[in-house]
């Protein structure tokens, strides 16, 4: 700490004797004092420097004391001003204080009177400064609080989960737009009695806390099913909000949209039950035949026995095929297939597939035509997958064709795609079947397809492979006339997934 | 001996079940879809219907059974089920599911014969 602070006093008086005497007196008492001999000087000094206090003579030639007082206070409101006057009267006192003077001192004054007044003024000055400081701090804090509140609101409004806070009286205190949406409520007013407007599942959660009236560190949760106000599945968790002293302040409810999860769950169980059904059907058929063969009370001819064994084998084949297809699908979904991406000529893949299926093609006496546009398009893909894709498409064209029918294959470029069109003269599809053809286990069922075996997974695998290369597959068909599938695969650019998987592949190596 | 209609989209099930029942001296008519199933019932007026619940759609057999009852055909029905419970269709014999007996596939010849005889007898006793 330095020297003791010397309060700065300004003396404004046109009488030299009073100026100098006052200055000497104050300085001897530990003040620092400046003087001004007229109103003009006084205003200049009093506005340029922040004085703790000023003694202003009321009657001066030119600018009088009241004008000086006003001028100083205007720019230095915390300078405590005392009016000195030889004409002390009640009116002057009132007048000067009404302009903001702290007080007045009658002239002539004694040293003691002056010092007492100055002391009071300096004390007043301290109070003024202090209150100013508090005011400033308070304003700053309010600003900070306001800012904090807006920031918090922005954060709360932007989160995708719903948030609703009610106080102990059941009034809404805080909520965000997601909460309105999830609760199926149009609007909530702050301080509105809101609980009974909420879905029953939510209000009962809140009441659990409000009834006990005590803060408890538990979270209750509930699930909301879609209702007439919202078509969402919502998971709600309610917790008590404590006051500083640990008593119950209110309840906060956090709402989560679990609709997508529910949908996936549903898809999953649908898929599981479809798979079970599809697997169980052949098992039940084989079981039935075995029971017949094993049953001594039912007599079978040798031919029947042979037939049942053959049928059983066929059904078991289909189970095996289906399990393999399912494993492929699951590998595709888990992306555990290791791809070897290289440049593939669609023409040569299709030729190989035709070769592979030639036995069936000949058996059905089918007329096959392959047309390749020059230059023959290439794609960057995994040979095994593309081969699989064409085996599935072409074997369908064979299986569902009529004996002596034909298959036309065109390979061509189309925009940024390499395309292959496989057209058969088979059974064809009904319009409603066309939509479902790529669904797992969907098989067109009619008189003509009943003896054709299949897993119902072939085309769904085709679609998965095509999608994974960011390509597309289109189907045109007329029932009774035939079906054409066109596959488009991006030319020579490695599709997003392929590139990524290739990178992963190299990383692993 | 009785006339029995079997309606199931699985030809092997038709074959095996049919053989079991013909070995008992019953006469069998079959169909592989709900439309044909309806037709053979109307044409042949069987004493008993064996109906698979899941044909083209997971509940085809269920709707066909309702259609029969709506048209005042009260022939006893045995319903073949496979995985209907896991799809959330927990069937029980009631007004909504107007059948007389449920049988979970696969079924042994003895069981099939027993269920069929039981229903044919109650029917005869009515």
CA-based nearest distance B104→chain A, Å: 10
- Strands A162-167 and A248-257, by their bridges, are antiparallel
Using an 8 Å CB-CB cutoff, list chain A residues near B107.
Answer: 288
Predicted confidence (pLDDT) at residue A238 exceeds the cutoff of 60 = yes
What is the DSSP secondary structure assignment for residue A365, as one 8-state letter?
T
Q: What is the mean pLDDT of residues A279-303?
A: 89
Using an 8 Å CB-CB cutoff, list chain A residues near B86.
Answer: 269, 272-273, 276
Specify the higher pLDDT residue, A382 or A440: A382
Residue with tokens 């064994």: A309
Specify the higher pLDDT residue, A450 or A398: A398
Per-residue confidence (pLDDT) for residue B2, from 0 to 100:
92
Pairwise CB contact (< 8 Å): A285 & B33: no
CA-based nearest distance A225→chain B, Å: 17
Per-residue confidence (pLDDT) for residue A474, from 0 to 100:
94
A506 band by pLDDT with thresholds 50, 70 and 90:
very low
Specify the higher pLDDT residue, A295 or A121: A121
Per-residue confidence (pLDDT) for residue A241, from 0 to 100:
92
Q: What is the mean pLDDT of residues A62-66?
A: 89
Q: Of the candidates A292, A299, A445, which has its C-beta nearest B16's C-beta?
A: A292
Predicted confidence (pLDDT) at residue B74 exceeds the cutoff of 50 = yes
What whole-number distance in Å separates Cα of residue A342 and Cα of residue A326? 26
- Strands A219-224 and A367-372, by their bridges, are unpaired
Predicted confidence (pLDDT) at residue A503 exceeds the cutoff of 80 = no
Q: Of the candidates A277, A295, A304, which has its C-beta nearest B54's C-beta?
A: A277
Predicted confidence (pLDDT) at residue A421 exceeds the cutoff of 90 = yes
Pairwise CB contact (< 8 Å): B83 & A273: yes
Predicted confidence (pLDDT) at residue A377 exceeds the cutoff of 50 = yes
B84 band by pLDDT with thresholds 50, 70 and 90:
low
Predicted confidence (pLDDT) at residue A483 exceeds the cutoff of 60 = yes
Using an 8 Å CB-CB cutoff, list chain B residues near A298.
Answer: 19-20, 23, 109
Q: Of the candidates A281, A315, A450, which has its C-beta nearest B82's C-beta?
A: A281
Q: What is the mean pLDDT of residues A5-27?
A: 92
Q: What is the mean pLDDT of residues B54-78?
A: 84
B7-31 pLDDT per residue, tens:
998 889 999 999 999 999 999 999 9
Using an 8 Å CB-CB cutoff, list chain A residues near B13.
Answer: 281, 284-285, 288
A2 band by pLDDT with thresholds 50, 70 and 90:
low
Specify the higher pLDDT residue, A334 or A12: A12
Q: What is the mean pLDDT of residues A357-383?
A: 89
Predicted confidence (pLDDT) at residue A497 exceeds the cutoff of 60 = no
Pairwise CB contact (< 8 Å): A272 & B86: yes
| Burial zone of A270 (CB within 10 Å; 0-12 exposed, 13-18 middle, 19+ buried) | middle
Predicted confidence (pLDDT) at residue B92 exceeds the cutoff of 60 = no
Using an 8 Å CB-CB cutoff, list chain A residues near B88.
Answer: 269
What whole-number distance in Å separates Cα of residue A461 and Cα of residue A391? 11
Pairwise CB contact (< 8 Å): B33 & A445: yes
Per-residue confidence (pLDDT) for residue A509, from 0 to 100:
37
Using an 8 Å CB-CB cutoff, list chain B residues near A270.
Answer: 87
Pairwise CB contact (< 8 Å): A280 & B83: yes
CB contacts < 8 Å between A and B, how many? 75
Pairwise CB contact (< 8 Å): A285 & B82: no
SS3 A53: strand
Predicted confidence (pLDDT) at residue B126 exceeds the cutoff of 60 = no
Q: What is the mean pLDDT of residues B89-98?
A: 58
How many Å is the Cα radius of gyration of chain A? 47
Using an 8 Å CB-CB cutoff, list chain B residues near A282.
Answer: 12
Query: What pTM was estimated for this model as a whole?
Result: 0.56
In chain A, the percentage of residues whose pLDDT exceeds 90 is: 49
């Amino acid at each position: 700490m330095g020297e003791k602070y010397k309060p700065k006093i300004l003396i404004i008086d046109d009488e030299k004797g009073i100026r100098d005497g006052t200055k000497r007196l104050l300085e001897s008492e530990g003040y620092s004092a400046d003087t001004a001999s007229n109103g003009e000087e006084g205003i200049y000094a009093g506005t340029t420097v922040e004085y703790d206090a000023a003694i202003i003579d009321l009657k001066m030639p030119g600018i009088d004391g009241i004008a000086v007082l006003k001028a100083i206070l205007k720019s230095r409101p915390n300078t405590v001003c005392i009016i000195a006057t030889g004409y002390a009267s009640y009116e002057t006192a009132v007048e000067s204080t009404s302009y903001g003077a702290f007080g007045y001192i009658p002239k002539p004054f004694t040293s003691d009177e002056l010092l007492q007044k100055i002391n009071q003024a300096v004390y007043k000055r301290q109070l003024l400064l202090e209150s100013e400081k508090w005011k400033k701090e308070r304003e700053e804090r309010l600003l900070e609080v306001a800012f904090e509140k807006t920031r918090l609101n922005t954060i709360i409004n932007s989160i995708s989960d719903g948030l609703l806070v009610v106080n102990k009286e059941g009034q809404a205190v805080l909520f965000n737009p997601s909460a309105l949406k999830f609760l199926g409520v149009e609007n909530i007013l702050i301080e509105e009695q809101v609980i009974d407007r909420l879905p029953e599942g939510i209000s009962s959660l809140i009441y659990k806390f409000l009834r006990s009236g005590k803060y408890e560190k538990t979270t209750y949760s509930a699930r909301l099913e879609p209702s007439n106000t919202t078509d969402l599945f919502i998971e709600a968790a309610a917790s008590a909000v404590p006051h500083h002293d640990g008593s119950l302040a209110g309840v906060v409810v956090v709402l989560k949209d679990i609709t997508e999860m529910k949908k996936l769950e549903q898809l999953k169980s649908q898929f599981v039950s479809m798979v079970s059904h599809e697997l169980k059907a052949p098992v039940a058929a084989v079981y039935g035949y075995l029971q017949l063969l094993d049953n001594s009370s039912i007599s079978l001819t040798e031919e029947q026995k042979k037939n049942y064994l053959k049928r059983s084998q066929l059904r078991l084949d289909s189970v095996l095929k289906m399990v393999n297809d399912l494993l492929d699908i699951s590998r595709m979904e888990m992306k555990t297939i290791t791809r070897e991406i290289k440049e593939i000529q669609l023409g040569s893949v299709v030729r190989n597939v035709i070769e592979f299926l030639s036995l069936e093609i000949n058996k059905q006496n089918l007329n096959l035509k392959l047309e390749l546009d020059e230059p023959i398009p290439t794609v960057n893909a995994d040979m095994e997958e593309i081969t699989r894709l064409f085996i599935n498409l072409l074997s369908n064209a064979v299986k569902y064709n009529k004996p002596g029918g034909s298959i036309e294959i065109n390979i061509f470029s189309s925009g940024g795609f390499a395309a292959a069109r496989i057209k058969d003269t088979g059974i064809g599809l009904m319009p409603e079947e066309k939509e479902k053809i790529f669904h797992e286990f969907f098989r067109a069922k009619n008189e003509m397809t009943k003896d054709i075996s299949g897993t119902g997974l072939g085309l769904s695998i085709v679609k998965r492979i095509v999608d994974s290369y960011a390509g597309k597959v289109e189907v045109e068909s007329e029932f009774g006339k035939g079906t054409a599938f066109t596959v488009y695969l991006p030319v020579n650019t490695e599709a997003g997934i392929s590139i990524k998987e290739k990178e992963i592949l190299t990383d692993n190596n | 001996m009785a006339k029995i209609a079997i309606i199931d989209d699985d030809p092997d099930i038709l074959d095996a079940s049919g053989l079991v029942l013909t070995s008992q001296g019953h006469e069998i008519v079959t169909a592989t879809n709900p439309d044909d199933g309806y037709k053979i019932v109307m044409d042949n007026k069987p004493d008993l219907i064996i109906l698979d619940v899941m044909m083209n759609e997971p509940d085809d057999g269920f709707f066909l059974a309702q259609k029969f009852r709506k048209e005042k055909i009260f022939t006893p029905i045995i319903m073949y089920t496979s995985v209907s419970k896991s799809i959330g269709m927990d069937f029980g014999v009631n007004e909504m599911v107007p059948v007389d007996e449920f049988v979970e596939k696969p079924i042994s010849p003895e069981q099939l014969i027993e269920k069929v005889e039981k229903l044919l007898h109650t029917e005869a006793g009515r």
